[in-house]
Copies of this chain bind each other. A is one copy, B any other.
Amino acid sequence: MNFELTVLGTGSATPTLNRNPSAYLLTVDNEYFLIDCGEGTQFRLLEQKIRHTRLRHIFISHLHGDHYFGLIGFISSLNLNRRTEDLTIIAPRGLAEILTIQLKHSETILHFKINFIETNPDKEELILDHPLLTVETIPLHHRIACCGFLFKQKQPKRNIIKENLPENFPIPYILQLKEGNDVFDELTEKTYKVNDYTTEPPPAKSFAYCSDTAYNELKISQLQGVDTVFHEATFTETELARAIKTNHSTAKQAAMIAQKSNAKQLIIGHYSSRYDDLTFHLLEAQEVFANTHLAIEGQVYKI
C-alpha cells in the first residue's frame, strides 16, 4: 500500500538546463497517475523505469506548453511500444484536437484507445471515480482555463496478519476479512474473528495538485484537511508584483494556502528560471507553514 509523489519536472515556462518542465507521477498501490506532461517527460519516465502498462490516467492542468508539450511524444512512444490498454486523458477542451491533428499528419493509427475527459475550469467536479480513488477538479485562477486536481484515496482494506491464518486459507475468506467481516467456516464450524486475523487499515490519503495559479483563497474550503498539497511557487515575495501580473504565486502564498487549508504537508515547485538557489523559496514558505518541502526532480515524497 503506497501513496506517493515522484517529481519529474519542477521548471516553469522559460526553459533551463537544470530543471524540466512540469510533470509529476502519483503512485497509488501499483497504479500510476501522471499529472502534467511537459516536454521531455517520456525521458524522465524512462529514467524512473516506470512501467507504462500501469499508467492508465494522465491529468493535464492547462494548455500552456510547459504542462503538455511532452504528451504527443509520450503517446507516440506508447504506440511504438505496442500498447493496447486504454488511456484516459483528463484535460481542458482543445487537447483532443491538438493530439488528433498531429496523429493525422504523421499518419499514425493508435493501437489503443484514448478516452478524453474534458475539465471545466469554472467549477469543482468529480472528474474520475476509480477503484482506488476519486479525483475532483480544483478550479484555479490562471491566464487560461486551468484546473488542479484533488486525489482522494478510497478507504484501504484491513491488513491481513498472514502468520495467524491457517495454511491454504481460502481467498474468498481473506477478502471477507479484509472488508472487516468475521468469517464462519461451515466445514469446521469455526469462526474467524476479524480482529484476530487483521489489523486496522491505514487511513485514506489525499493529495491536491495546484499549478498554475494566482493566490486564491476560494479553493481552501475544498482542500480542508488534505494530507499533502502541491502548490506552485513560481516566485518569492520579492517578485510579488510579477506573480500577481502573471497569475502565479509566491512561496509564501503557497504556504498560506496550505496553512488555511489545514494541510499536513506542502510541496512547492514550478520555479521560475530566474532562481538557481531555492533556499529563499523554502525559508519564506516555512515561516508560514513549517512542514514545507521543495519539489526536487527525481525525489519521491510519501503522502
Contacts and interface: CB of A to CB of B under 8 A. Distances in A.
Nearest to A144: B107
A81 B143 contact: no
A265 to B, nearest CB: 31
A266 to B, nearest CB: 28
A144 B42 contact: no
A73 B15 contact: yes
A76 interface: yes
Contacts of A17: 43, 46-47
Interface in A102-132: 102, 104-107
A16 B43 CA distance: 7
Interface string A68-90: 01101100110011000000000
B69 A65 contact: no
A interface bracket (residues with beta carbon within 8 Å of B): 35 or more
A97 B97 CA distance: 11
A16 B72 CA distance: 16
A275 to B, nearest CB: 16
B14 A81 contact: yes
A144 B43 contact: no
B40 A80 contact: no
Contacts of A39: 39-40, 42, 70, 73
Contacts of A95: 105
A171 interface: no
A65 B102 contact: yes
Contacts of A107: 143-144
Contacts of A97: 101, 105
A64 interface: yes
A13 B101 contact: no
A98 B80 CA distance: 21
Nearest to A102: B98
Contacts of A105: 63, 92, 94-95, 97-98, 144
Interface string A51-76: 00000000000011100011011001
B72 A43 contact: no
Contacts of A69: 69, 72-73, 76
A150 to B, nearest CB: 24
Contacts of A143: 107
B80 A76 contact: no
17 contacts: A13-B76, A15-B42, A17-B43, A39-B42, A39-B73, A63-B105, A63-B106, A65-B72, A69-B72, A94-B105, A97-B105, A98-B101, A98-B102, A98-B105, A101-B101, A105-B144, A107-B143
Given A13-B77, A65-B72, 16 more contacts: A14-B77, A15-B43, A16-B46, A17-B43, A17-B47, A39-B42, A39-B70, A40-B40, A63-B102, A63-B105, A65-B76, A65-B102, A69-B76, A94-B105, A106-B144, A107-B143
